[in-house]
């Protein structure tokens, strides 16, 4: 077997071992204790993944700081390496050098992580050709990529789907005006893909109905640091004026707003008093608005947040929406909170059609939740009691951990590899806040 093939097999085996070991990990939680103390927020997973992909747009070295140590982030490193780039991790810094890269990604590697679709834009932008495996749907919904492809086609890419691969080719990408709104609103990674491809296109691209998420702004900031000409990121209209080439850059990733929200909800659910350091409270108005309505006290002091809940909680109705609305990535955690809140609350999911996998598992802990179309009707306030539960996806696992912390007795959360994809050392961080949570490895 040639050396490159051997290296690929070894990398795949290492990734498989890593994940198979984690598949067996579980958390044992002894609930009923209020969380108290301070917690530090890590860099944002959903910002760092497209930023790492953006490093493919230049042959020069890019240094990305505050990269969270997560399995998804390491996985993106493997994907970049499979394309020929160097990706080195040192603490929370990842250095990427994509001096010589190829446009064909490793089918199995890319297929495994949906977020890897964000290599498509940089590959077509830099090389004029890309072959990337089609990401599948996942438990939270079908997750089509039609808008990504529509956007790249508008820039002049010819797209074919064959044998499970998206093949995109373009002699020269050309700036264009395009509309990226879909049935559920804008697309976050789709906006990123088009922005990255347009950075090296000829002429001006105007993206209408662009996603406004802070992660899109962070990606735009990184691209600007690389020499791209982008304005309007954070608004529904983004303008990209193509440049001939991009250069290396250094960047610090924004704090993870979903991790911040998760700790705030956990503090509320346990009747705790938690100071959250190193966050961006200005990215979380919608979440804090609902938490305050529910009776949670939130005090801001610069990047620090103090979240306290002493009295009785009140039920709130929530509808998930694109930014700056209530984030779908906090819906499950909020449902766990409403499950311990006396009264009826209605939680409506408008972004992903089947993001309610946590409902049946919350029911094992005693939660009373009924699903009616896109809404979950939560009859809250019944005391939860610990039980073995199964994590189905990243945010569902966070909801189960929160419910376990609020429940009486012992909760065993199986398949915590889902939570390791998006929360850096969540068990350690919770332990420092006084939680009784242990990771049981491979049992
Ligand atoms: N959509 C389409 N066509 C497309 C793309 C999206 O119809 O071509 C639809 C989706 O099916 C969905 C909606 O548009 O109904 C929004 O999807 P979006 O494309 O914005 O999602 P994404 O970019 O694939 C990112 C995050 C998700 C987060 C969503 C929404 C990353 C790696 N993932 O996904 O994060 O839920 O934006 O904010 O950035 C998570 O962290 O747990 C997670 C799932």
pLDDT of residue 106: 87
Compute, in angstroms, the gap from residue 169 CA to the centroid of ligand 1.
Answer: 24
pLDDT band, very low/low/confident/very high, at 137 (cuts 50, 70, 90): low
Pick the residue whose CA is nearest to atom 17 on ligand 1: 187
> When comparing pLDDT for 144 and 16, which is higher?
144
pLDDT at residue 81, as a whole number: 97
pLDDT tens, residue by residue, 80-130: 999 999 999 999 999 999 999 999 988 888 888 989 999 999 999 999 999
Cα(198) to ligand 1 centroid in Å equals 20
Residue nearest (by alpha carbon) to ligand 1 atom 5 = 145
Q: Atom 11, ligand 1: which residue's CA is nearest?
A: 143
Question: What is the model's pLDDT at position 191?
Answer: 98
396-414 pLDDT, tens digit per residue, is 999 999 999 999 999 999 9
CA of 114 to the centre of ligand 1 (A): 9
Burial of residue 100 (CB within 10 Å: 0-12, 13-18, 19+) is: exposed
Among the listed residues 39, 78, 86, the one whose alpha carbon sits nearest the alpha carbon of residue 61: 86
Say how far residue 17 (Cα) sits from the centre of its chain: 23
Query: Ligand 1 mean position to 313 CA, how many Å?
Result: 31
CA of 144 relative to ligand 1 center, distance in Å: 9
Residue 431's pLDDT is what?
A: 98
CA 247 vs. chain centroid, Å, equals: 26
Dihedral pair phi/psi, residue 200, rounded to 5°:
-110, 15
Contact 201, 173 (CB under 8 A): yes
Q: What is the pLDDT of residues 39-67, one digit of tens each?
A: 999 999 999 999 999 999 999 999 999 99
* Strands across the sheet containing 436-440: 388-390, 410-414, 26-30, 436-440
Q: How far apart are CA 288 and CA 291, in angstroms?
A: 5
pLDDT over threshold 60, residue 18: no
CA of 188 to the centre of ligand 1 (A): 6
Q: Residue 62 in contact with residue 95, Cβ under 8 Å?
A: yes
Once rounded to an integer, what is the mean pLDDT over residues 160-178? Answer: 95
Residue 128 tokens read as: 């004029």
Helices and strands in the chain, H and E counts: 15, 23
Structure confidence at residue 22 (pLDDT): 64
Read off the pLDDT of residues 173-188 as tens digits, 9 standing for 90 and up.
999 999 999 999 999 9
| pLDDT tens-place string over residues 311-322 | 999 999 999 999
Longest dimension (CA), the chain: 66
**Positions marked active-site:** 138
Output the ligand 1 site: residues, CB below 6 A.
46, 49, 115, 141, 143-148, 182-184, 187-190, 211, 328-329, 351-352, 394-395, 422
C-alpha separations of 272 from 118, 329, 394, 435 in Å? 38, 22, 23, 11
- Which pLDDT band holds residue 288 (cuts at 50, 70, 90)? very high
Task: Tell me which of 268 and 15 has the higher pLDDT.
Answer: 268
Q: What is the DSSP string of 401-431?
A: HHHHHHSBSEEEEE-THHHHTTSTTHHHHHH
Q: Which of 189, 210, 286, 327 to mutate to test the pocket of ligand 1 (most atoms within 8 A of CB)?
A: 189
pLDDT tens figures, 179-223 = 999 999 999 999 999 999 999 999 999 999 999 999 999 999 999
What does the pLDDT look like over 340-382, one tens digit per residue?
A: 999 999 999 999 988 999 999 999 999 999 999 999 999 999 9
| Terminal alpha carbon distance of the chain | 36
- What's the CA gap between 433 and 68, in Å, rounded? 20
Q: What 8-state DSSP symbol labels residue 103? A: S
The C-alpha atoms of residue 295 and residue 331 are separated, in whole angstroms, by 18
CB-CB neighbours of 162 under 10 Å: 8
What is the atom index within ligand 1 of the atom nearest the CA of 141?
Answer: 11
Nearest CA residue ID for atom 33, ligand 1: 46
Q: What are phi and psi of 349, to 5 degrees?
A: -100, 115
- Ligand 1 atom at shortest distance from the alpha carbon of 394: 42
As a whole number of angstroms, the distance between CA 299 and CA 304 comes to 8
Does the pTM surpass 0.75? The reply is: yes
> Which tops the pLDDT comparison, 2 or 249?
249
> Considering Cα of 81, then 83, then 84, then 87, what sign does the dihedral take?
negative
Q: Is the pLDDT of residue 7 over 70?
A: no
Backbone angles phi, psi at 424, to 5 degrees: -80, 120
Choosing from 42, 161, 187 the residue with most ligand 1 atoms within 8 A of its CB, the one to mutate for a pocket test is: 187
Q: What is the mean pLDDT of residues 25-35?
A: 97
Residue 305 has pLDDT above 70, yes or no: yes
13 pLDDT more than 50: no
Ligand 1: residue whose CA is nearest its atom 18: 187
CB 355 within 8 A of CB 331: yes
Rounded average pLDDT over 141-145: 86
């Amino acid at each position: 077997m040639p050396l490159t093939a051997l290296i690929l097999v070894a990398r795949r085996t290492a990734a498989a071992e890593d994940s198979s070991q984690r598949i067996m990990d579980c958390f044992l939680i002894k609930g009923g204790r209020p969380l108290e103390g301070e917690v530090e927020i890590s860099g944002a997973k959903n910002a760092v993944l497209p930023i790492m992909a953006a490093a493919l747009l230049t042959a020069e070295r890019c240094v990305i700081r505050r990269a969270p140590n997560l399995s998804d982030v390491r996985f993106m490193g493997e994907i970049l390496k499979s394309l020929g780039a160097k990706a080195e991790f040192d603490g929370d810094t990842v250095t990427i050098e994509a001096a010589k890269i190829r446009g064909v990604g490793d089918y199995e590697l890319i297929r495994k992580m949906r977020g890897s679709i964000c290599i498509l834009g940089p590959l077509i932008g830099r090389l004029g050709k890309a072959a990337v495996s089609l990401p599948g749907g996942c438990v939270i919904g079908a997750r089509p990529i039609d808008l990504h492809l529509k956007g790249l086609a508008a820039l002049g890419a010819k797209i074919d789907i064959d044998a499970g691969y998206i093949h995109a080719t373009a002699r020269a990408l050309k700036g264009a005006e395009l509309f990226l709104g879909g049935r559920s609103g804008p697309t976050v990674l789709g906006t990123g893909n088009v922005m990255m491809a347009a950075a090296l296109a000829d002429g001006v691209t105007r993206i209408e109905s662009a996603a406004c998420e802070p992660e899109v702004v962070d990606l735009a900031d990184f691209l600007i640091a690389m020499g791209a000409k982008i304005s309007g990121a954070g608004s529904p209209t983004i303008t990209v004026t193509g440049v001939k080439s991009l250069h290396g850059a250094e960047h610090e990733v924004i704090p993870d707003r979903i991790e911040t929200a998760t700790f705030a909800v956990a503090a509320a659910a346990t009747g705790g008093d938690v100071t959250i350091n190193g966050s961006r409270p200005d990215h979380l108005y919608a979440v804090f608005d609902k938490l305050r309505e529910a009776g949670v006290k939130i005090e801001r002091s610069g990047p620090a947040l103090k979240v306290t809940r002493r009295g009785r909680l009140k039920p709130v109705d929530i509808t998930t929406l694109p930014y700056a609305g209530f984030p779908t990535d906090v819906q499950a955690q909020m449902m766990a909170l409403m499950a311990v809140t006396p009264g009826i609350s209605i939680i409506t999911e408008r972004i992903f059609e089947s993001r309610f996998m946590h409902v049946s598992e919350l029911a094992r802990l005693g939660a009373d939740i009924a699903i009616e179309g896109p809404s979950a009707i939560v009859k809250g306030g019944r005391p939860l009691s610990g039980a073995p539960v199964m994590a189905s996806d990243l945010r569902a696992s966070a909801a189960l951990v929160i419910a376990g912390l609020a429940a009486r007795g012992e909760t065993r959360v199986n398949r915590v590899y889902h939570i390791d994809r998006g929360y850096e050392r969540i068990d350690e961080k919770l332990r420092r806040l006084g939680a009784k949570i242990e990771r049981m490895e491979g049992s």
